[in-house]
Every structure is written in C-alpha cells, then in structure tokens.
Chains A and B, each alone.
Chain A
Amino acid sequence: MSESKSEAGLLVYILPFLAIVPLMHNQGWDSSEAAILIVAVPFVTFPVILVVGQLYNGHDTWKNKLKEGGILALGALGTSLSAALWIIYDYFDALPDFGDQHSISQWLEWVSFDLLQSDYTLTSETNILGVGVWVDSVTLMLLFVATFLCFLICWFSLGYMNTDPINEDRNHRFYGEFVLFALGMFGMVLADNFLWLFIFWEIMGLCSYLLIGFYYWKESAAYAAKKAFLTTRVGDVFLMVGLFMLYDIYGSLEFSVIFHDPSLHGAVDSAQLFWALLMMFIGAVGKSAQFPLHVWLPDAMEGPTPVSALIHAATMVNAGLYLVARMVPFVDVGHHGVPGLEDLGLIVAYVGGITAFMAAAIAFVQNDIKKVLAYSTMSQLAYIFTGLGAALWFYNHDEHHAAVVVFGASMFHLFNHAMAKGMLFMASGSVIHEVHHAHDHLHHGHGDHGHFDPQDMRNMGGLASKMPITATAMMVGSMSIIGIPLIGGFWSKEGIIAETWLAALDHEPLMIGPAILVILTAGMTGFYMSRMWFMTFAGEPKSDVVEHVHEATPWIKEPLIVLTVVSALGGIAFALLGATDYLSSSYGDAGHLKLHESTLMESVIYQLEHAFLPENQNLRLVGWTTILLSFIIGPVFAARIHGGPLSEGESATPAVSWLVRISGKFGSQDVSSLSESDLAEALENRLYFDDLYEGLLAKTVLPMASFAAWFDRNVIDGVIKQIESNSVSGSLQIRTITTGSARDYILMAVVGMLSIIALIWGISS
C-alpha cells in the first residue's frame, strides 16, 4: 500500500505540465493558438527524455522519481490532452459562430516557390506549402481519441514497462519514442493540408519502426520493425504520388482551398482526380493494414504491449481512416464535389469487406492473446473502411441522408473501437505481465525460461477470479467490439452494416459483396472475441502458473477502469447526443452534439427505435440478423468450445461470474478434427500471404540486387580497368613522375593546360 502511495506521489511532477494550459488561458491566449502546444510540448520533451536518459542512465532520481522519463512523457501528454480539451470546449462554446464548422490558423510559409506556366511566364502569385491548423468535428473526435488514449497508455506504461527487469535502463528510449509517436498523430490530425498530414504520417511510420524494434536484440523484433516500415512505406510512396497529382490539379494542398470547391466549376478532370484519390487510398491501405498490405500488423506485436495499444487504438492505424475521411469533399456532389467517382467508394468498400472477413477468419485459430486482438483490429478497421466506402459512394450519388448516416457511423465506430481496443490491449498487457511475473516467481531458479509463452492463451484459463478488474474490463471491451446490443460498438456497427446493405439493395448491386462480408464478419467477431475471453478467463486453469497470478502492479488498473466506463457507456451516451450527425458535420452540414428529442427519455426511445426497429423492412431484417449472428451464434459457439465454470471455490465480480457460469451451460464441443484441417493450417499460416511476399522478394529483388552489384563491379568498372591495364606502360611512366608533391602536380596541371591553350590558339588563328 505504501508503495503505491509513493508511486501516486510522483504525479506531483506532472503538475507543472498541467498548469501550462490554464496559464495560457489566463494570459488571454486563444485556443487555436494553443493548438501548437499539442505538438510542440511533446516535440521538446522527446529529445530531452532521450538525451537526459542517456546521460543519467541508472541515476536514482531519474530512475525512481522520474521513472526513466515516464513522468516527463506523462506530463507532456497531459499538456496535449488539456490543450485538446480546451480546443474542444472552445469549439462547442463558439459553435454558432462557426460558419463552416472549422477554424483555421496559418502559421508559416514553409516552402514557397514559383511555377512556370504554359505561356512561359511565372505564376503571378508565389505558391506556398504552408503549415497551419484545421479544426472540425472529425479533427476534434480524433484529437480527443489520440490525446486521451496516449495519456492513459503512457500511464499504463509506467506500471508495465518500469517493472519489467528486461527494460531496465532502457525505458528512456521507450518514452522518448512514445512521445514522438503521439505527437505524430496529434500533428497529423491537426494539419490543415495534405502535405503536413503526410509529414506527420511518416513520423508515425518512423516511431512504429523504432518501438516495434524496441527489443532490438530479438531477431524477430528487428525483422517485424523492418517489415512494418517497409510495408507502410510502399503505401506511403503511392500516397506521395497521389499528393503530387492532387497538387497538380488544385495548385494547392490546403484543405481550405481544396474543400471549398473541389470541382472548381467543373474544370477538374474526374479521371485524374480518381487516380489521385486511388493512389492516396493505397497509402491508407498500407497504414491501416488492409488487404493486401496487411502483413505488417500482426508482426507488430513484437513490440512491448503498450506500443500495441498505441498503434492499434490511439494512433497509427487510425491515420489511414482519417485520410479516407478527408476524401469526402472531393466526392460530395451536393457540395461542389466531382461527379463520376463512385468506383472509388466501391473499391474502398471491397477492400474493407475482404479484409474484415479474412482477418476475422485468421483470428479464429490464433492462440496468442495479442495476435487475436491484432487481427481483430484489422477486421474492425475494415468495417470502418467499408462504411467509408459506402459513404463515398452515397456522397457521389448525392444520396445525402444515407451518406451522412454511414459516414457518421464509421467515424463513431472509429471512436468506439479505439476506446475498446486501447483498453483491450492494456488489459491483455496486464494479463501477460502478471502471468509472466507469476511464472518467474514460480520457476525462479529452475532455469526453464524460454519454453513458457506468457502470451499463449493455452497457458491461461480461469483467470477471472485472479484478475477481477482485468477480466471485467476485457469483458466489456470484447462486448463493445462484438457489438452486443446497447454497448459501445453496437451503435456504430449497426449503422455501417445497415447502410452498406441499403446501398446494395436499393442502389448498387455490386455493393452486395462487401455487405455480405461485413454481416458474416459480425458473427465471426462474436466468435473469436468470445473465444479469446473464455480461453483466458473462464474454465479450469490450464497451467500451474495461473494459481500465482495477482493483479498487483501499480499504474495498471486506473486506465483499465476509466476505459471500461467509456467503452460501456460512451457508445450509448454519444448515440443519444447524435454523434453520427455531428461527426458528418465536417462537410457542409450543421451539426451539434445535443439530444435528438427534448428530454432524455424521449431521446432514448428514439434511438432504440432507430436501432432496433428501423422503418425500412430490409434494414430491420439486416439489423436483427446482425444481432443474431454477433450476439447469439458467435458467442454460443465459442462458449461450447472454450467456455466452462471456474474451479471450485473461485469467485469473480458478479457480471463476470454470471458470464462464466452461462458459458458452461451450452454443453461442449470437440473441434480437434476441425483444427487439424487444411483450412485451419492455412489460417494459421495467415493464408500464406507472408510466405508469398517473402518468396517473391527472395526470388526477384535479392538476385537482382546482387546482379546489380556484380554488374557494377565487373562490367562498368571492368571497362575502366580494361582501359587502365591496356595503358599499363603509360601508367608506369606516370608513376615515374608521380613524385607525391603537391607543387609538381599543380605545375603539371598548369603546364598541361597552357600547352593545350597554345595548341588550340595556334589552330584557330
């Protein structure tokens, strides 16, 4: 107890950071000016942590008081969070005055230049690639998600990282890179143009590389880090070319210029714009780990668990979604968008649908608790892509109402997923940490390290009674991901699935592909998330380690509790406040977070009616099918295979106990024959995509590189050497006059030059 008290006392050190924003407010600063703090404070903190950490490594104050930089990182992220909250508050406060629902402030002319026009004159006005801030409803939501989760994950890391002896004297690297990662996301969300969006986007790529490779000595970690960077880099290059094309079309990359009138009175060639947006979408596919550039995300689990939480919930993967969300103004024909881009929506939806289904299928057979979550991330992000694809399609067909609903639902799902997934990763980290700890405790001195995998769910089971908080948290998080009615992700996922079906049934038959895939995936999600939870927390313990697990590490519980509440209630709360409409308000529609009806009760009834009894009969059918699949069929199958009551005499929190008891009532099913099938093997090998890519690279790139090196050495340089050896007698003579003296060389040069002058002069005159 005293230990945790002294740990809590360390929070005093972050107070100066938290005081910055109130002080600025007192000094009469504007919140949009404070936006720079969100990026600048972490930016200053990052080198400080790295350098000070390197210099004072192992020093007592640094290690115990500042937690090897963790407290500084927490303070910096606290500043960002408070500044973000200030902006959010100001935005709502001033909303009636926000004509276009966004505020901009331009700070800097970063790079300015002229262009030569086709009449051989320079552009009269200098072109500028600038830096500034853009705030609208999507920005605010993502800003909140990023700052809030980064703060909580950093808090969690203080417990997770600093108590692991393997990290000793290395954590300053972790916190420094963590802060840089966070600022990358903050900057990307705030940027007011595509170039700076890309710049921060790449910073995140760097940080994912550094953090996935945090355990630098592990070959698997080094490989995974490289894989993540290179795979996303492939996408990034396409994104970059897309931006060049966009610049060529609009002469600017600023949102305020482009979004104002993307069609430029019909002057824009829709084919070129289509290609530009498609190239940008490839970048988003890489960053958000969608098919076919998805291979890096599961391997990214090589990093420490807080990094997984950071990548999967707070930052990196949301970047791709954000980019696609920013494509809406181009296609929104109701607001000067360019018609003829509906194929883009279809492509996005198909990529989403395929990824959702594929990732969910692979998640069926994973035994590593973090891998299940990784594939779940891929699958859930794919939902959002499908929704955004449908939204793009609707916008481009001027189906404004449907577009608004599905776009809002997609963004809302991003919020729900981020909150739940951030918490799930931290909870899984808590499980891994404690299991690892218990194993060390139990087998201390036995020397059988290395065989035991603390992430393998086959070593767990029955943890519900040992880790009540974690078990409850994970239960709520899983329910939110599955979309159990009324909880978290239910409110957004329903919208995505329903509107995709609407598009397929009423408008575009080709949309049926993604529509079928996402509804199947809903049931599969129910299965694999339940399976994960039951394998970990229900049933009898599957190894002797479980007996020794305790929830004892400080700093770990608080973020879990906070996020459990947010995941459980955030969905319904924001649904009541009209989050869907609000989140679509970025592009031209007025929107405000407020109750739909005048009283709370009426609003609740309205929302429930909306969710469960939509007027369109088809949608009602789709909705109930989804609920049946995800709520009943998936979890029940999981319970039959992996469920079961706890051992005698073990107890857990009420909700968890109830769930565990229920899970034992569906009988049990043996699936060992199924798990040995070819399909299961293919799934375990991730459908052979990694093998395919690696094989392809090994057969093409590596030989070609070796050949290029050989060619350069033996052919190009060989020719030179041939000339050299042919004139060997000449070079021997040169050697005799190579005295090694500078003066001689200068003399030779001058004499040589003069004689050539004389020669040519003689000829010409």
Chain B
Amino acid sequence: MINDPLSVITLVPLAVGLALLIMPKILSSAEGLARASRAISMGVALAMLAITTMIFLGEIGSIDWTDYGSGYSLTNESFLLIPSIGVSWSVGIDALSFPMVWLTTLLIPVSMLVEWDAKKGHLFHPLILIMEGALIGVFVSLDMFVFYVFWELTLVPMFFLIMVWGGDDRRYASMKFFIYTFTASVVMLIGILVLYLYTPDVAGSGTITGHTFDLGVMLSSASSIPSEGLRHLVWIMLLIGFATKMPSVPVHTWLPDAHVQAPTAGSMLLAGVMLKMGAYGFLRIAVTALPESTMVFIPLLIFLGMVSLVYGAWVCMGQTNLKRMVAYSSVSHMGLIFLGIATMQPLGIAGALFMMFAHGIISPLLFAVAGAFKHHYHTLEIGSMRGIAHHSPWMAGHMMLGWMASLGLPLLAGFVAEVTILIAFWMSFGWLVMLPALTLIITAVYYLTSMQRTIFESNDPHQGILPDSLHGEDPSDITWHENAGMLILGALTVLFGILPFIFWDMMSDWSSGFMIDVLVQAMESEGVNP
C-alpha cells in the first residue's frame, strides 16, 4: 500500500464511494452510514489531497520534478488484469500528469464544500468521490485499456450528477452529454485499437492476441504502422475523441447544455478537470505516438484553436445566460491550448500545460459563482439581478476576482499561461498573434459587460434590482461553505499568479524534454521550422 500511493488514491475513492452508495441499500444495519457519508466522503477526499500534496513536496517518493529523464515516478509492479488480451494494472506519474492529479484531489473537496448542503447528500458526495477515483485513474494509468475504462467511467457519475441534481432540462442535457462524448470516445477507441494491433509481442502481451495495451509499448510502436495514410487516420480518430472532450469547435455543443443543467459541483469538476482530460490525452497519446502526423496537422491545430478561441469569444458575447457565457468561455480558453501546442516551442507547450492547470482553478471559481448566483437569486439571466455589491459583497468580490482572472489579468494564474503561449506564438507565427491578442479584448468585453449588469447598476445604494424569480423576497447571502470554497479557489488563483514557478518549473522541464525526446526528429523530417 505505502509503496503504491497512486493505486491508493485511485482505488480508495472508488471503493469508498461505491461502498457508501451501496452499503446502506443492502445492509439495514448500515443506515448510519448514510448520515455519515457526507463526512466520510470529505474525509477521504482530504486524505487524498494530503497524499498528493506530500507527493509534490517529496515526502512520498522524493521525486525530482524537474528531471524529465527519470520518466514515470511512483510506478507499481504491474500485474496482469486480463492476461488474454494483455491488460495490466500499471500506474505512474510525471510532470505532465501530476499537476492534473493534484488539481483533481484539490477540486474534489472544494466542490464538495461548495455543495455541502446538497439535497440527497448521502448520494451526492459519494458520487463525487467516485468521480475522483475515475479522474485520477485517467491521469495515472499506464495501460491504455485501463485508461479507456477510466475515461468512460468518468461519464457515469457526471451523468448522474446532471440527471439527478440538474436543472429543469436535465434529462436532455445528461443524455446529450453522455451520448455525445461517448460517441466521440468510441471513435477514439478505434484509433487506440489500431495502435494496439501494431504492438509487438512482448512480455505481458495477451496470451490470445499477442498484443499489449502497455502505454509505453503502444506509443513507441505506433511508428511501425506501415501506411502513412493509416497513421494520419489514427491521429485524426484520436483527435476526434480528445477534441470533443476539450472541447473544440465544432464538437463543443454538448458543453453549454451540460454546464447549464449541471449542479454547481458537477460544473466545477466538468470544467476544472474533465475538459483537461482531452488536452492531456492529446499530448500523452496522439502527439507522443504519432509526432510526424502532428507536424502534418499543425495547420489544423491552429485552425481549431483559433476558431475555438475567437469564435468562442464572440459566442460568449452573445449570451444572456451567465452560466452559458462562462461555459463558452471555457471553449474559448481551451482553444489557446491547441495554439500553444502548435507553436512547437517548449515555451508554448509549457504555456499550454500551465493553461490546463490555471483554467482548472479559475473556471471552477467561475462556476461556483454562477452556481451561487442561481442558488440565491433563482435565475441566471444577466441583468435580471443587479447590485450584488450591495446584497452580497463577498460574492461580488469572488465574481470580480474570478472574472478578472479569466480575462487574463496579471498576477492571477491565467495571465502566465496566456502570455507564455502568445510569446511562443509570435515566435512561430508572427503577426498571426494579433488574432488571439485582439480576442483578449473581446474576452474583456463580455466579462465586464456581465459584471456591469450584475455587480453594478442597482440605481440605489441601499437596494439591488431583484429578479422576478424571487417573487418579492429578499435574496439570501451566500452561505459560509460557498464562501469558503470560493475563497480557497481565489487564493490559489492569486498564489499561482504571483508564484507560477511552483508548477511552472516542472512543466517547463517536461516540455523541453518532450520536445527533444519526441518532437524534434519529427519536426526535422517534416520540415517544420522552429
């Protein structure tokens, strides 16, 4: 157990979450569990956060994070799960996956905290715990089969979160979310299976198939696919799965519906971690396995990234629903990740990694604010509730901080990512940088306009303009646990904005190593100039 902390943080939340869901149903004597399940879930989540924090600090595993050469850390002795087809349980982390793992273990307790008083809490909190296990599983598993299982497993708790605790249109949204992303994942799965079929027969390969799902073997043997056309096809199939998850225009339309209907905690996890699975998978699998195809498709990446960024920002500006606007802003920001990768500079890739992390703490803050808005004012229409600064100064403050962080204000986490990606972008593509740069203005426009119509403009210093949905009642102020959750996220946004090197250094090192190890050769052979 002690020697294998990654298996612990993956499996314990899954096991505890399942137990908390099922036990009270089966055993009548375990009814007390239902009452305690909220506290137990929180306890487990905090324990996981403690473990990942200790991993980061070197208390567990004493990892040198800025040493790309050491490869995966905290790997276990893999053992075969399904010998017939070569599936094994093997885990490990590096500087690409660790920030995501830490982010997951952070966001789980915070989102539990924000929805501390959720209805049917004895089901709600264990579901989030299951979510944690599934998400961590995606980031740590070094077996493609297990990766895919976790990848799809994340859909299940999220489906229920939307289905049971969602808004009025939750049925449609949850179905759309599930089927949409599931379909894309199946396309991705076909790509993975093609890779699988070209793996050599090594130790641990399936007794029947003679192939292995081992991540390292699969990635390195991808170049043995003889036909260039097939390689490109596989790359495209992988991209479809990952781009849908990120999401990138034009396969993004599941996101606004899912977000608007999802409960606050669901939105926070969806935007905070689930979207990053797409970018993570893209780098870990598509780019690593098929660097030559990546070079060929750089124009496509720029196109997708640019369209997501620019078009997403324009769509944001046309929204009248607060949560929808925030959801589209995620589409817009995820576009920058593709742009960062497309620069083919360590700086740009590190910027993309930092964007994944920064967006992972900023967007949950945005959704926490939007969720609290809905919770206390029973509406999400921008402009129907004005003068929050009077009614709820704390929420106004969190909103201001979150919105500013998202529009890229310096000394907040998002700025570091934006500025590094754009510097690299200038170096690679010159004046084309004006397009993303000018989009920063559009981003500022929609965020500021939405604040103008919510925080400000009540016409009366002692009174807000209240929405009809309150039916004349005075709105309640945000609760202590909402406030605490937002404070934590806000503080981290500031912390990583002022001291980005906490995670930046390892990301930068990983990007440099990744460039030299994986990409440079492909760049040379495909004639891509740095």
Contact = CB atoms under 8 A, between A and B. Distances in A.
B53 interface: no
In terms of DSSP, what is the predominant structure of the interface of chain A?
Answer: helix
A538 B384 CA distance: 49
A716 B530 contact: no
Contacts of B328: 712
B527 to A, nearest CB: 11
Interface string A88-116: 00000000000000000000011111111
Interface string B451-484: 0100111111100000000000000000000000
Interface in B76-126: 85
Interface in A690-715: 701, 704-712
B390 interface: yes
Contacts of A245: 426
Contacts of B515: 114, 116, 122
B409 A202 contact: yes
B448 interface: yes
B347 A114 contact: yes
B394 A757 contact: no
B318 A707 contact: yes
Contacts of A210: 400
A233 B444 contact: yes
Given A112-B501, A708-B317, A753 B189 contact: yes
Interface in A237-252: 237-238, 240-241, 244-245, 247-248
A221 B397 contact: no
Interface string A219-246: 1011101100110011001101100110
B57 to A, nearest CB: 20
Contact of A217 (B159, B209, B459, B512): B459
B423 A244 contact: yes
B238 to A, nearest CB: 15
Interface stretch (B5-13, B36-44, B148-156): B148-156
B529 interface: yes
Contacts of B530: 115-118, 120
B36 to A, nearest CB: 22
Interface range, B side: 35 or more
Interface in B509-529: 511-512, 515-516, 520, 523-524, 529
B347 A115 contact: yes
Nearest to B516: A122
By CB atoms of chain B within 10 A, which of A117, A707, A746, A757 has the most? Answer: A757
A183 to B, nearest CB: 11
A745 B445 CA distance: 43
A336 to B, nearest CB: 24
A645 B180 CA distance: 81
Nearest to A715: B250
Contact of B437 (A240, A710, A716, A720): A240
By CB atoms of chain A within 10 A, which of B180, B314, B415, B458 has the most? Answer: B314
A116 B445 contact: no
A23 interface: no
Interface in B332-389: 344-347, 350, 387, 389
A746 B133 CA distance: 15
Contacts of B411: 199, 203
Contacts of A213: 456
A549 interface: no
Contact of B426 (A127, A222, A244): A244
Contacts, number: 206
B393 interface: yes
B500 A237 contact: no
Contacts of A113: 346-347, 350, 420, 508, 511-512
Contact of B179 (A50, A221, A734): A734
Contacts of B155: 745
B250 A705 contact: no
Contacts of A200: 410
Contacts of B410: 198-200, 202-203
B393 A54 contact: yes
A760 interface: yes
A234 B524 contact: no
A127 B515 CA distance: 16
Contacts of A29: none
Nearest to A743: B156
A764 B346 CA distance: 39
B72 interface: no
A752 B148 CA distance: 12
Contacts of A724: 176
Interface in B311-336: 311, 314-315, 317-319, 328
A230 B314 CA distance: 16
By CB atoms of chain B within 10 A, which of A215, A709, A711, A720 has the most? Answer: A709
Contacts of B311: 708, 712
Contacts of B516: 122
A52 to B, nearest CB: 13
B419 interface: yes
A671 interface: no
Contacts of B149: 746, 749-750
B189 to A, nearest CB: 6
Contacts of B318: 705-710
A237 B193 contact: no
Contacts of B23: none
B416 interface: yes
Interface in B469-505: 500-501, 504-505
A757 B404 contact: no
Contacts of A233: 440-441, 444
B3 interface: no
Interface string A589-605: 00000000000000000
B449 A226 contact: yes
B325 to A, nearest CB: 10
Interface in A610-626: none
Nearest to A109: B501
A229 B423 contact: no
A756 B196 CA distance: 12
B427 interface: yes
A717 interface: yes
B253 A221 contact: no
Contacts of B438: 237
A237 B504 CA distance: 24
By CB atoms of chain B within 10 A, which of A54, A166, A230, A749 has the most? Answer: A749
B84 to A, nearest CB: 10
Contacts of A704: 314
B434 A241 contact: yes
B160 interface: yes
B420 A111 contact: yes
Nearest to B66: A112
A704 B512 CA distance: 41
A216 B457 CA distance: 6
A12 interface: no
B30 interface: no
A422 B253 CA distance: 53
B437 A757 contact: no
B250 A226 contact: no
Contacts of B511: 113-114
A739 to B, nearest CB: 12
7 contacts: A113-B350, A114-B515, A216-B455, A216-B458, A229-B448, A240-B419, A709-B315
Cβ-closest 10 pairs across A and B: A709-B318, A222-B456, A705-B317, A708-B314, A199-B410, A244-B426, A717-B253, A705-B318, A116-B530, A114-B512
Given A166-B461, A241-B433, A244-B433, 11 more contacts: A111-B501, A111-B508, A112-B508, A117-B530, A120-B523, A122-B346, A230-B448, A701-B445, A708-B318, A717-B253, A746-B156
Interface of A: 50, 54, 109-118, 120, 122, 127, 166, 195, 198-200, 202-203, 206, 209-210, 213, 215-219, 221-223, 225-226, 229-230, 233-234, 237-238, 240-241, 244-245, 247-248, 701, 704-712, 716-717, 720, 724, 731, 734, 740, 742, 745-746, 749-750, 752-753, 756-757, 760-761, 764
